[in-house]
Amino acid sequence: MNDKLALPVGTTLDRFIMRKQEEFPFATGELSQLLRDIALAAKIVNREINRAGLLDVTGAYGNQNIQGEEQQKLDVIANIRFIRALRNGGEVCTIISEEEDDVIQTGNHRGKYIVAIDPLDGSSNIDVNVSIGTIFSIYRRKSETGSNGTMEDCLQQGTRQVAAGYVIYGSSTMLVYTTGHGVNGFTYEPSLGEFFLSHPNITTPADGTTYSCNEGNMNSFPEGIQNYVNYCKDQNYSARYIGSLVADFHRNLLKGGIYMYPPTNKAPSGKLRLIYECNALAFIIEQAGGKATTGFKRIMDLQPEELHQRCPLLIGSAKMVDKAEAFLKEVEVEEGIVSK
């Protein structure tokens, strides 16, 4: 009999999570269950995305979120799906979502965790069949259980994350996450309804030749970033910008590169959100051997002051981020500016 006819399909996400439970002496299964809840919601959202063109759920919903951005129909659907899964799972007391003005209290007063989530990043790209994603970040609550989560629970530094990850919905759907013990990626097999380990122990290249930024904003970038982009062009680096944060980040994580969303005249504090976008991706990239900064400070050291706080982001291969920071600091030295 040909052994190739019955090759093993690999390790499922559930089995992988169970094997890793010993890495969390403070947990008694709740974190594992929480990750399964997120994976379940991701499967449901994946189904909605795959049939979006047939069900008339593409396009704008008609409202704006707290960011002043026009909500897409799939934004609303994904938000509902993830909130419902996290509430029903029972492990989360409070949720922070890009699509909600205020925190969401789940009513699970015994829940030990806070989840910050961007339910569907880049959702406007669904109309043109471009990859989009979900970004999530998990914190242990600081307050005592038995009541709602507090604002102090929500405004924690990125260094206090116990897990973070993203789901990318593209040619295949992948869930990538870290619990502070490396980064692992799982690919969804729709015929079996399971995520299987496909990218174990992801390590990002220390250097790269790809830069990702919206060069349409080039004239309003800080001078140091303009100089760095011109340096990349002089080096014949490849410019790759999809306009979907998860997709751009995922490519650079695997192949090497830098993603940049610096301050602009239109968004002087940057555009990306610290708590549910930047912190999560910073945790992942650092665990993979890369780096994430504002250009001057480590992302995960920033102390959030509000739920939807924005910040600049330089993230990716460590040497490329270092080089971009050097260009920023060179301008400061020339102008006699001292960073705060």
Query: Does 61 count as an annotated binding residue?
Result: no
Query: Does 241 count as an annotated binding residue?
Result: yes
Strands across the sheet with 104-105, in order?
A: 104-105, 92-97, 113-121, 132-140, 161-169, 173-178, 183-189, 194-199
Query: Does 317 count as an annotated binding residue?
Result: no
Check the CA dihedral 303-307-312-317 and report its sign. positive
pLDDT tens-digit profile of 75-126? 888 999 999 999 999 999 999 999 999 999 999 999 999 999 999 998 778 7
More confident residue, 90 or 4: 90
Using 50, 70 and 90 to split pLDDT, how confident is the model at 34? very high
pLDDT tens-digit profile of 274-311? 999 999 999 999 999 999 999 999 999 999 999 999 99
Q: How far is 331 from 322, CA to CA, in rounded Å?
A: 15
Query: Does 214 count as an annotated binding residue?
Result: yes
Query: Which of 20-24, 49-53, 63-67, 152-156 shows the lowest per-residue confidence on average (mean pLDDT)?
Result: 63-67
pLDDT tens-digit profile of 173-225? 999 999 999 999 999 999 999 999 999 999 999 999 999 999 999 999 999 99
* Domains of the chain, each with CATH number or no CATH: 8-199 (3.30.540.10), 210-335 (3.40.190.80)
Query: Does 228 count as an annotated binding residue?
Result: no
Query: Does 120 count as an annotated binding residue?
Result: yes
Query: Does 123 count as an annotated binding residue?
Result: yes
Using DSSP's 3-state secondary structure scheme, residue 51 falls into coil
Q: How far is 57 from 182, CA to CA, in rounded Å?
A: 36
Query: Does 118 count as an annotated binding residue?
Result: yes
